[in-house]
Amino acid sequence: MHRIDVPGHDKPIWYDVTCVKRGTETIYFAIDASAVVFAQDAQKTFVQILTKTFAQLSVGLAIFDADRRLVLFNPALVDLTGLPAHFLIGRPALFSFLDRLRDQNMILEPKDYSSWRGQMVALEPAAAEGNYHETWLLPNGQTFRVTGKPHPNGAIAFLMEDISDEISLTRKFRSQIDTSAAVIDNLTAAVFVFSSSGSLIMANQAHRDLWGTGVDGSIASWDFSDEMTSWKSASAPLPVWMKLTDALKRGGTRKPWQGTVWLDSHMELTCQYAPLPNGNHQIIFISSEHEADTSARFEPVEFRAS
């Protein structure tokens, strides 16, 4: 390859030169190879950009070629797995890589090692088809999300992501939601929460005891119209029902309000409405009889002065 700088041109011209000797003479053949050289330079630049991008990723990346040997990895893989860099640079086979992860306690230790190897054998074709996705719960408390993706020419890429903080946060939110639901279930007042579209978001145990509806933990299919039908069928015609319907249709009111409801059983209820954030609605029914029956739900404790 010979480079020629031409005056007035931004880029040089590259020639692929071949020489052939014919007796005492030499014949030179020159072919314009500029396009090939520029393509190779572009490829090198692209590889450098990819390498820098992979180096900055927080997700561990391991790419195995068609022979299932490691051909590319990024620093995050070393940080996440604790595998030594010289081992990864040595282009280990896929199963050697997995065995080393097991030795590092980066894979949950199975009771039966042979069955674990069988699962790893199934992992390879699953990743090749692009449908391998698992969550690894590690003995040290970490949680990894591992994804297998197919690449051209039979290669496979594995992405390893530490989602321990995400799982911990999800569990914390789940615990808070469960605690809130338990607190609301312990209230003697019947509590309803409807979304801005009228779907029933929350209802406590007192609501089921008061109205006798079949709504349980699966309330996604219930909405305000279903509940209103149940309320009306068990009570006398009252202005409070029209006011509630108007509040839900108009997207709520600015201030909370309350009204009186009479059931067919001659029980008097206080209906309280309050707007909630994001256009949600809170409706509470309070019965004097339920308040009187509160003591029946709790074990009496005798307090004595010391």
Weakly modelled stretches of the chain, pLDDT under 50: 215-220, 292, 294-298, 301, 306
pLDDT tens column, 134-143: 888 888 888 8
* pLDDT confidence of residue 229: 87
What pLDDT score was predicted for residue 294?
47
Q: Which pTM was predicted?
A: 0.51
Residue 175 to residue 242: CA distance in whole angstroms: 37
Residue 87: the pLDDT is: 92
With H, G, I as helix, E, B as strand and everything else as coil, classify residue 18. Answer: strand
What domains sit in the chain, N to C, each tagged with a CATH number? 1-56 (no CATH), 57-162 (3.30.450.20), 184-297 (3.30.450.20)
- CA 175 from chain center: how many Å? 18
* Cβ contacts of 207 within 8 Å, gap of 6 or more: 190, 191, 192, 213, 215, 285
Helix axes 224-233, 239-249, angle to 10 degrees: 180
Cβ atoms 231, 206 nearer than 8 A: no
Residue at token pair 């040290």: 140
**For position 92, what pLDDT does the model report?**
92
Confidence (pLDDT) at 104: 81
